[in-house]
Amino acid sequence: MTFVVSLFLFGLVLGLVAVASNPSPYFAALGLVIVAGMGCGVLGGHGGSFLSLVLFLIYMGGMLVVFAYSAALAAEPYPESWGSPAVGGYMGVYVVGAIGGCVVSWGGWYESSWVPADDMAEFSVFRGDMAGVALMYSSGGGLLEIGVGVLLLTLLVVLELTRGLGRGTVRAV
């Protein structure tokens, strides 16, 4: 199980590097899909199967909308891919930075930190992720509304950034 979670974490870091290098909206959206899948795999590996499934479905629905808008408004005839030298340089810098962060924070990480939440409570009636979902909607309602507002603001910012000077496909003919 430790190997599988380590594989998910490695894929998560590689997906984050793909998003951070951001060659074009098409490839950045693919990197976000990889990040979402790997992050939900990490959550599922730690005992949060319900929460990871819900987050994956909601995130994929949101990503579909954002990708459709950004792809329609930022239609590039020749999008820059991950194989181009400039994007490869950015990816190399980010990978070296991630490896440097791992080297700096290597001490103090032990195998016991990989124990799922359900293995810690011997006589628990609820699973860890179910109690977390219930608390998210009861006590965390305000933070949930703030999160919705931030996601709406992010959508508007992405649409404004991808609009550009030519206004994409919505320009007057």
Digit-coded pLDDT (tens) for 144-173: 889 889 988 988 887 777 666 655 555 554
How far the first Cα of the chain sits from its last, in Å, is 57
- pLDDT of 126-140, one tens digit each? 666 666 667 777 787
Residue 62 structure tokens: 């949101």
Burial class of residue 133, CB neighbours in 10 A (0-12, 13-18, 19+)? middle
- pLDDT of 94-129, one tens digit each? 889 988 888 887 776 655 556 565 565 565 556 666
Mean of per-residue pLDDT scores for the chain: 76
Q: How far apart are CA 165 and CA 158, in angstroms?
A: 14
Contact 124, 118 (CB under 8 A): yes
Whole-number pLDDT of residue 173:
47
Say whether pTM exceeds 0.75: no
| C-alpha torsion angle, residues 116, 120, 121, 122 (rounded to 10) | 110
Q: How far apart are CA 131 and CA 121, in angstroms?
A: 13
Burial class of residue 107, CB neighbours in 10 A (0-12, 13-18, 19+)? exposed
Sign of CA dihedral 28, 29, 30, 34: positive
pLDDT of 90 above 50:
yes
Q: How far apart are CA 126 and CA 131, in angstroms?
A: 6
Report the 10 Å Cβ neighbour count for 40.
23
Report the 10 Å Cβ neighbour count for 158.
17
Domains of the chain, each with CATH number or no CATH: 2-170 (1.20.120)
- pLDDT of 77-89, one tens digit each? 777 777 788 888 8
Residue 122 structure tokens: 């011997």
